[in-house]
Structures are given as structure tokens and as C-alpha cells.
Amino acid sequence: MPNKSDKLVALLAGQPVIPVLRIADARRAVPLARALARGGLPAIEITLRTDDAVEAIRRVAGEVGEAIVGAGTILDPAQYEAAVYAGSRFIVSPGITKELLKASADSDVPFLPGAITPGEIMAARQAGLHFLKFFPAEQAGGAAFLKALAAPIADVRFCPTGGVSPANASTYLGLPNVICVGGSWVAPDDLVEKEDWGRIEELAREASGLRKVG
């Protein structure tokens, strides 16, 4: 089975932290994306957890040329299609279903589904997906669990998300089967609501300075 994740790896590799964003007001999407890009984190995931999420994706895709905007919390093919139409360059889901696999097979936009059990990971691998979201990372066993998967499923790599923070990000990034981590700490809700783009840029710069070991 060909590796369908190569395009996604090319988009995200080299950026240690992918900001996971909840944007309640689409007017803030463009300055937020610009602040993160200035801080060294151009690839962002805007989650479909608010009514303004799709519009936020549309604005970033249309106005922030330096950004690589993706859509997260995609639960069904209709959301997949809407996110792609809005300009998403990659799609992230907390889990994996036959319907979402079909939607990804019919789309040129790469798919990063969540998987936490060996069975889910093997099913994704058989579908040609070799780069997966490990979610919720800390609750599912954390870095120790991922390290244990590295030998038996050596050709699958991960973006751990969920409970990842500055305190443990480097531990995840030190694993051979981790490409990057997803985190919300670089753009917390309170700073976004205050429109403190300067502080968000600082947090992004700190996060972009994290590097894989080995």
C-alpha cells in the first residue's frame, strides 16, 4: 500500500509544535495566524469547535500567505468537505472511521486521523496512512506508550496531541516515531480574547525553538 502521508509529512515536518486553535471570533483569525507565523509556527490547526471555525479557516487561507492552515476536530465527511472548500491544506480528526477514510481517499487534501490502539494504528497503516495523530496523548499512555510502539510498528509516525505542554513536549519530540506535537498552549484562549498578539508571538517563538533529539 502506498504511503498516503508523504504530502502531510512534507507540510508539517520541521515544525516541532502545531498550534491547536479554538477561534470563537473569525475576526481574530488573521492576526492570530500572522503572530504564530512570525514566531516560527506557520502550520496551524483550527478546530471545528466553534461556529466561526470554517470562516476563520477561510480568512486565514485567503489572507495569510505564509500560513499553512488545517482543520481539526473533523468528525464526518461533510465537515471534511466544508473544511477543504474553505481552504484547509490538511485535515485532522480525533479518530478514524470508514467514512472519513473514504473522504480522504476522494480528496487531494491529506488526512491526519487520530489513533491510540495498536488495532487502530494498524488499520490506518493498511489504508496507506503512516503519519497519525496520537490523541489524547497523555490520557492514552503518553510518551512511554508511544515508545513501546516504535519497534513493532516502526514505519508509522505520530503527532501526539492532548495534554502536551512545554513540560513534556521535549520528551515526545525525543521519540524516534514522533514528527511533531500538537498543543494549545501557544495561543491560550485568554490571550486570544485579549488580542495579545505580541505575547502569542513570543510563545510561538519559544515553541518553535523546541527541536527533535536524534
Active-site residue set: 45, 133
Of 99, 132, 100, residue with least CA distance to 117: 132
Distance CA 198, CA 36 (A): 10
Q: What share of the chain is helix, strand, coil (3-state, %, to 5)?
A: 40, 15, 40
Q: Is 158 helix (H, G, I), strand (E, B) or coil?
A: strand
- Residue 9 class from Cβ within 10 Å (0-12 exposed, 13-18 middle, 19+ buried)? middle
Name all contacts of 200-203 with Cβ < 8 Å and 24+ positions apart.
200/32, 200/35, 200/36, 200/39, 201/35, 201/36, 201/38, 201/39, 202/39, 203/39
Of 201, 197, 195, 168, residue with least CA distance to 182: 168
Local structure of residue 14 (DSSP, 8 states): T
